[in-house]
Amino acid sequence: MINLLSLGEFNNGLLRFLRASPTPFHATSNLASRLMSAGFQLLREGDAWSLIPGNRYFLTRNDSSIIAFVYGKSDLLSSGIRMLGAHTDSPCLKVKPRAELNRRGYFQLGVEVYGGALLAPWYDRDLSMAGRVSFRDNQGHITSVLIDFERPIATIPSLAIHLDREANNSRSINAQKDIVPLILQLPTEDAALPDFRSILHAELLRQQPKIPVAKVLDYEISFYDTQGPSFVGLEQDFIASARLDNLLSCYVGLESIIQANDEVSSLLICTDHEEVGSTSCCGAKGPLLQQFLERLLPDIEQRVRVIERSMMISADNAHGIHPNFMDKHDENHAPILNRGPVIKVNANQRYATTSETASLFRWFCERAEVPVQTFVARSDMGCGSTIGPIVASEVGVKTIDVGCSTFAMHSIRELAGAKDGWWLYKAGSEFFNCEVPLVALNFS
């Protein structure tokens, strides 16, 4: 018997997760602790494993990707594995390795743009920084810890309209020079620049006085908006937040797999680096999932047979039709916020959806009483992509691409419908709990 979260419980948990997860590292750490408290055991990739049916496991790679696995009691060859995938990363500004800049006594940090960020919304925000810091400790070991400054410590002021009268018509943004965050005013214009590693060192000690840092060696730090996620709208119809793409889907997957029963096998994979092509040791184009499946099923014939009976739901947000820009959608494939998850279809395989996987997803939604919409990009426009086609081509698993419709994708503040995450979670829970084997439904 599934004990589903109510809409309110789901959304409160989602907002907490979004607020506590400014980077993929933090998202992974929060996913891991929630899984741990729900009875999932940590597997270390460097250890030998003996996986036992009826148990629940999880593992992380690079502190930024995670797999959770419910090893069902029924035979994998008959049940297959129900998989749900999402990504932990979002477009942002990342601090460069030698970031320190002094311009007229303003201390700034040079940044690289990570992924396809929408840059204009980064101006005039109260920004903070978070990420991972690697340091040498007092014994000479190298250790990594997560850091989050939490408070507003940086800003990128707009250029006043008086200094650029064309700002509302034609302002473009140069990623090298126009969006450099300002973090401090030095006492004089030629004062010595603080070293960013020393700033990180001091902040680590401030947060954890007993931490044995001898020297900060390197870091992966990005900026984020300190304005937290929030309901928006006269009737609170919407959720505004950074990183809805794709922490919304990570949270849907997390709460769904926690609800999964012990009969059939279920798997959640949330990977880093989707926004930059997924090619990394922990990205969807890397060997993470394949290696997990190889260790679970070392025999190639068994593994291929199980994969043949499995299915992956790749969850990533879709574009809702925007009331101010109605001509950007195909009129018959224009999802509306709060009208249910969206099946994403693309004839050129930018999405992995097939008629078979779409039918199965519709069937799960029907059972869970969840409405479904469909998205196809305009035929005269390009189409985005996601981890679906990558996982499908790497692992050979039948895949569907779905997601919640949103506005302002890749902005520092995106907007989703307040009901859609919950709808997708209901569908995900049905997928993980439906007692009918996928093979009996369609696949053979």
Residues in CB range of 421: below 8 A, 6 or more apart:
10, 11, 14, 239, 248, 251, 252, 404
Ramachandran quadrant class, 278 (left: phi over 0; alpha: psi -120 to 50; beta: rest): left
Rounded to the nearest whole angstrom, what is the least distance from the CB of residue 387 to Zn ion in the complex? 8
Q: Does 255 bind Zn ion (CB under 5 A)?
A: no
Q: Does 316 bind Zn ion (CB under 5 A)?
A: yes
Strand partners, 215: 136
Residue 190, CA distances (Å) to 98, 154, 194, 367 in order: 19, 21, 12, 68
Closer by beta carbon to Zn ion, 79 or else 246: 246
E strand segments, 226-285? 230-232, 238-241, 265-271
Residues in CB range of 16: below 8 A, 6 or more apart:
none
Closer by beta carbon to Zn ion, 86 or else 147: 86
Closer by beta carbon to Zn ion, 148 or else 316: 316
Rounded to the nearest whole angstrom, what is the least distance from the CB of residue 406 to Zn ion in the complex? 10
Rounded to the nearest whole angstrom, what is the least distance from the CB of residue 12 to Zn ion in the complex? 23
Q: Does 245 bind Zn ion (CB under 5 A)?
A: yes
Q: Is the four-CA dihedral 293, 427, 433, 59 of positive or negative sign?
A: positive
Closer by beta carbon to Zn ion, 68 or else 247: 247
Q: Does 414 bind Zn ion (CB under 5 A)?
A: no
Rounded to the nearest whole angstrom, what is the least distance from the CB of residue 410 to Zn ion in the complex? 8
For the chain, the C-alpha Rg in angstroms (whole number) is: 23
Closer by beta carbon to Zn ion, 94 or else 303: 94
Q: Which residue matches tokens 């997957």?
A: 253
Q: Which stretch in 16-24, 150-158, 204-212, 245-253 sits in contact with Zn ion by CB under 5 A?
A: 245-253
Q: Which of residues 84-123 bind Zn ion (CB under 5 A)?
A: none
Task: Name the amino acid, one letter, at 139.
Answer: Q
Q: Which stretch in 50-58, 99-107, 265-273, 308-316 sits in contact with Zn ion by CB under 5 A?
A: 308-316
Rounded to the nearest whole angstrom, what is the least distance from the CB of residue 154 to Zn ion in the complex? 25
Q: Does 246 bind Zn ion (CB under 5 A)?
A: yes
Most distant CA atoms of the chain, gap in Å: 74
Closer by beta carbon to Zn ion, 317 or else 433: 317
Q: Residue 394: name the closest of 302, 301, 278, 305 by CA.
A: 278
Rounded to the nearest whole angstrom, what is the least distance from the CB of residue 370 to Zn ion in the complex? 21
Q: How far is residue 70's CA from residue 78's CA, in Å, rounded to a whole number?
A: 16
Q: How far is residue 25's CA from residue 30's CA, in Å, rounded to a whole number?
A: 9
Closer by beta carbon to Zn ion, 88 or else 246: 246
Q: How far is residue 53's CA from residue 262's CA, in Å, rounded to a whole number?
A: 8
Q: Does 128 bind Zn ion (CB under 5 A)?
A: no
Q: Which stretch in 188-196, 316-324, 347-355, 410-418 sits in contact with Zn ion by CB under 5 A?
A: 316-324
Count, residues near Zn ion per rule CB under 5 A: 3
Strand partners, 374: 343
Rounded to the nearest whole angstrom, what is the least distance from the CB of residue 409 to Zn ion in the complex? 7
Closer by beta carbon to Zn ion, 249 or else 429: 249
Beta carbons of 311 and 397 less than 8 angstroms apart? yes
Closer by beta carbon to Zn ion, 246 or else 271: 246
Q: Residue 256: name the closest of 137, 115, 431 by CA.
A: 431
Rounded to the nearest whole angstrom, what is the least distance from the CB of residue 352 to Zn ion in the complex? 14
Rounded to the nearest whole angstrom, what is the least distance from the CB of residue 316 to Zn ion in the complex? 4
Point out which residues bind Zn ion (CB under 5 A): 245-246, 316
